[in-house]
Structure 1
Amino acid sequence: MIVKVVYYSMYGHIHAMAQAVAQGVSQVSDARVDMRRVPETLSDDILEKMGALQARDKMKDVQAATVDELDEASAIIFGTPTRFGNMCGQMRQFLDATGKLWASGALIGKVGSVFTSTATQHGGQESTILSFHTTLLHQGMIIVGLPYSFQGQMRIDEVTGGSPYGASTIAGGDGQRMPSENELEAARFQGRHVAEIAAKLG
C-alpha cells in the first residue's frame, strides 16, 4: 500500500511537518510512504529575495511530484502553507493539472488528507484545509482529518496548531517558529491514522 505525502514548503515548516506525517505512515505495517515536493513556480532570483533558497536546499533530496503518479497511491496526504486563507499558488497549479485524473475517475475512493501552516493562530489554518477539501471531493476522494482521539489539539497550556480538519503549525510573522513537538505529534498521528484508514478500505 502506497501513501504519498505531497507538499509544498517555502521556508521549511511544511517540510518538517511532512517528515512527521511520513513517520506516522511508516508506523503502519504494509504501508510504504513516498514523499514528493510540488514543483516550484518561482525563479531562483525571486526565491533568493524572499530568503527561501536555504530552506529549499534541505529538500533537494525529495523527488518532485508528478500528476501521473498520484493514481498509484491508496492515500494522498497534502501539505500546503496558507496564502490568504487558502492553499498556496504552487499547490493550486499542481492540482489544476489533475484534469486527466478527474476525467478518468482515477482518484475516486482513495483517501485524501491535508495539513498546513500559517503565520498566526488565526491566519487561515482551518479555512485552508476546508477549502482544499473541495478539490478532493471533486476528485471523489474520501476525506480523513485529525480526530479528537489526538487530544493534543485541545491543549490550552501552549500556543499550538491542529484541528479536527488536520494537523497544522504556526510559523510566526517572521517565520522563525518551527513546528512544536505537539504539532509534530499531530502530524505523526494524522499520517498513521490516514494509513490505517486506507488499509481498512484496501
Structure 2
Amino acid sequence: MKVLVVYYSMYGHVYKLAQAAAEGARAVESAEVTLCRVPETLPQEVLEKMGADHAQNEQREVPVCTVEELGKADAVIFGTPTRFGNMCGQMRQFLDTTGQLWMQGALVGKAGSVITSSNTQHGGQESTILSFHTTLLHHGMVIVGLPYSFQGQMTMDEISGCSPYGASVIAGSDGSRLPSKNELAGARFQGEHVAKIAKKLTA
C-alpha cells in the first residue's frame, strides 16, 4: 500500500508539515511512504531575492515527483502554501500535466488529502484546501480531511492552524513562525488517517 506525500514549500513550512504527515502514514502497517516535491518553476536568482534559497537548499535531497508516481500511489497527500486562497503556481503547473492520468482514470478511487500554510491566521488556508479538492474530485479521488477526532484543532489555548479540511500552519507575516507542536501533530494524525483509509480501500 503506497502513500505519496507530494508538496511544494518555498520557505520550509509546508516541508515540515509534509515530513510530519509522512511520519504519521508510516505508523500504519504495510504503508510504503514516499516524500517528494513538485518541480520548481522560479529561477534561482529569483528565489535568492525572495530569501528562499536557504529553505530550498534544505530540501535539495528530497526527490522531485513525477506524474507517473502519482498513478502508482494508493493515496496522495498534497502540500501547498496558499496563494491568495488557492494552491501555489508550482503545484498548479504540476497538476496541469496530469491529463494522461485523468484519461486513464489512474487516480479514481484513491485517497487524496491536502495540507497547507499561510502567513496569517485568516490567510486562506481553508479556501486553498477546498479549491484544491476540485482537482482531486475531477480525478475521481476519495477526499480525506482531518476529522475532529484530532482534538487539537479545537484548542482555544493558542493560535493554531488545522481544520476539518486538513492540517495547516500559520507562518507569521514575515514567515518566521515554524509549525507548532499542535500543527505538526495535526499533520501526523492526518497522514496516519489517510494511510488507514487507503489500506481499507486497497483491501
TM-score tier (shorter): over 0.9
Are 1:77 and 2:50 matched, yes or no?
no
Counterpart in 1 of 2:50?
A: 50
Counterpart in 2 of 1:188?
A: 188
Question: Match for 2:89: what amino acid?
Answer: G
Distance 1:140 1:34 in 2: 22
3-state secondary structure, aligned to 1:60:
coil
Superposition pairs of residues 4-153 of structure 1, within 5 angstroms? 4-153=4-153
Question: Match for 1:41: what amino acid?
Answer: T
Distance 1:123 1:66 in 2: 30
Q: Write the deviation string for residues 91-145 of structure 1: whole angstroms up to 9, x where unpaired.
A: 0000000000001111000100000000001000100000000000000000000
Could you tell me how far 1:195 is from its partner in structure 2?
Answer: 0.1
Could you tell me how far 1:64 is from its partner in structure 2?
Answer: 0.1
Distance 1:54 1:100 in 2: 35
Q: What is the number of equivalent residue pairs in this alignment?
A: 202
Question: Match for 1:118: what amino acid?
Answer: S
Question: Match for 2:114: what amino acid?
Answer: V
Distance 1:79 1:66 in 2: 15
Could you tell me how far 1:160 is from its partner in structure 2?
Answer: 0.1
Distance 1:17 1:144 in 2: 16
Question: Match for 1:47: what amino acid?
Answer: L
Distance 1:43 1:36 in 2: 20
3-state secondary structure, aligned to 2:120:
coil
- Structure 2 unmatched ranges of 5 or more: none
Distance 2:142 2:11 in 1: 30
3-state secondary structure, aligned to 1:130:
helix
Q: Which runs of 4+ in 1 moved over 2 A?
A: none
- Structure 1 unmatched ranges of 5 or more: none
Q: Write the deviation string for residues 19-75 of structure 1: whole angstroms up to 9, x where unpaired.
A: 100110010000011001010000000000000010011111110011111111000
Counterpart in 1 of 2:2?
A: 2
Question: Match for 2:175: what amino acid?
Answer: G
62-71 or 144-153, which moves further after superposition?
62-71
Distance 2:91 2:156 in 1: 31
Superposition pairs of residues 161-200 of structure 1, within 5 angstroms? 161-200=161-200
Are 1:154 and 2:165 matched, yes or no?
no
Could you tell me how far 1:196 is from its partner in structure 2?
Answer: 0.2
Distance 1:65 1:104 in 2: 19
Distance 1:58 1:146 in 2: 28
Question: Match for 1:193: what amino acid?
Answer: H
Q: Let me know the Cα RMSD of the aligned residues.
A: 0.4
Could you tell me how far 1:146 is from its partner in structure 2?
Answer: 0.2
Distance 1:152 1:146 in 2: 10
Give the TM-score normalised by the residue count of structure 2: 0.99
